[in-house]
Chain A
Amino acid sequence: MSVSLELHNVSFQYGDSLPLLSNLSFCLEEGEVLWLTGAASCGKSTLVRIILREETPNSGSGSVLGKSLFGPNGYDQRQLRQDIGLILERNLFLPHIDVAGNVAAPLLVKGLSRRRIGRRVKEALRQVGLTGKARASVSELSKTERRLLTLATALAKKPPLIIADLNPDDIDRGYLVPRLLESAAYGSAVLLLAQSRWGEGREYSLSGGTRVAAFV
């Protein structure tokens, strides 16, 4: 099994504040589910930002899909976002475009052919149960449906790695997690960041009080 995401001794702190992440190391393989749990403000979202190369760690190394993550020759930020499936705490949509258009957007950015895009959009909408809403505007969707749309945009890319920064609510627990676990069964590596574990998979927890990660 190939390694999809690997971090080694990654440490991070904002300015002169206390370290938020300290010597964080983990490895996520193809088809594996890894839960990264911890209280609010323990550094989960910061870790996502580090993986997305929005923040530079103070020390450590890492790789995503076999490519080095940090340094001048690291993974191109745009390419990285095109290659992985990303579910953030906050939903981000193209508000003037219908549901199908939103699912198609990342595929268009990736440069897929129209035929493949059409096929993948249908498939992703079916996976999350939004087939009947393909032509609906985003503003017509319920809160749950919006979250499912976020999931569909991530799944449509058929990414080898999915990173999901989950909300501590029943929608993510009841709708997103089961479908993400299903994706892992099809071979995607899934990194789930949540306050507590809601399903199967390995789990590591961040010690929120000291804001120091304790990983093997």
Chain B
Amino acid sequence: MSPRSFSRRSAGLRRNLASNAGTIFVTGLIFLLLGMVVLITENFRSYNRQIKAELEFEVYLSDDTTPIELYLLTIAIRDVPGFNALRLQDRSEAYAQMQELLGKELLPNGGFNPFPNTIVVDFTEKTSTLAAFGAAAEELATFRCIENINYGEEWLLTQEPLFAFLNLCSTSLALLVFAATVILVFWAVSKIVYSRQEEIKALLMHGAGFRQIGIPLILEGCALGTLGAILGELLLVLLWQASCQLPLQLAFISTTSMVAIPLSGFFSGITAGYLVVTRRILP
């Protein structure tokens, strides 16, 4: 009988199928863009982490460092905020390493060793920053036995603002894509409302409210957003697989992001649907 067909059809994605498919496709493209932003951001952050993990804070010791001075210095280093680990690199060890790199013609066995004894300090990833390294260097500067401290200050000075800028760009882009999705789904649901205005007017005349008119439209917006996001993610998988043929070695997005993208589609759909219903139909 009709009641069942009424409720089924009024909820329907079946109507305006071509229009809805178009919306899902465009939403998919927008979410593909979001996915690409996430993929690039995550790879960039992973690269950033890797670089930070490799950053070393080197304390060069003078030749006349006494064991007591060395002991006191290591205690002071362990107290530096963000300290992770330290190891003592003997000058002969440093010479041997360099010999391996540069060859024995340049650094022959038994030749003059210009390298000092060094304490190599690792900081935790979060504190591997220019500011933390600078503060640690300042704190240790009072030790007489320290000849010099090296932490790639010049390199960090150029890289850190770049990392911060790229981070800001990727976050802004992700927010922009989310906003674009809300706008697109809002437009799509508005179009649905426009195409069904006679139906909506009839339902309003019968005294229908949010439950009968609003919820189906919000669900429709929600479905459009979620399906668009899933399509975008599938396209991202294809694009990523294609990129694997290139020497880029990009990692795919994390599981959290894989769940977050359809969820953002879901929420952008709900937001857009709710906005249409409360602004255009049931103010």
Contact = CB atoms under 8 A, between A and B. Distances in A.
Nearest to B198: A95
B9 A78 contact: no
A80 interface: yes
**Interface SS of chain A: helix, strand, loop or mixed?**
helix
Nearest to B4: A114
B202 A81 contact: no
Interface stretch (A27-35, A96-104, A168-176, A195-203): A96-104
Interface in B199-219: 199, 201-209, 212
Interface string A117-131: 110010000000000
Which range contains the number of B residues in contact with the other chain? 20 to 34
Given A97-B9, A98-B2, A109 B202 contact: no
Contact of B1 (A83, A95, A100, A110): A100
Interface in A54-112: 77-83, 86, 88, 92-98, 100-110
Contacts of B208: 78, 109
Contacts of A109: 203, 206-208, 212
B10 interface: yes
A107 B9 CA distance: 16
Contact of B207 (A98, A101, A104, A106): A106
Nearest to B204: A81
Interface string B3-18: 1111101100001000
Contacts of A81: 204-207
A94 B205 contact: no
Given A96-B9, A105-B6, A114 B1 contact: yes
Nearest to B208: A109
A106 B2 contact: no
A97 B3 CA distance: 10
Contacts of B212: 108-109
A94 B199 contact: yes
Contact of B201 (A92, A102, A110): A92
Contacts of A117: 1, 3
B6 A94 contact: yes
A96 B203 CA distance: 13
A108 B3 contact: yes
B201 A104 contact: no
Interface in B1-55: 1-7, 9-10, 15
A118 B9 CA distance: 18
B9 A105 contact: no
Nearest 7 Cβ contacts at the A-B interface: A81-B207, A82-B207, A101-B2, A106-B206, A92-B202, A100-B2, A78-B207
22 contacts: A78-B207, A79-B207, A81-B206, A81-B207, A86-B205, A88-B205, A92-B202, A93-B198, A94-B199, A96-B9, A96-B199, A97-B2, A97-B9, A101-B3, A101-B9, A102-B202, A104-B1, A105-B202, A107-B3, A108-B7, A114-B4, A118-B1
Interface of B: 1-7, 9-10, 15, 198-199, 201-209, 212
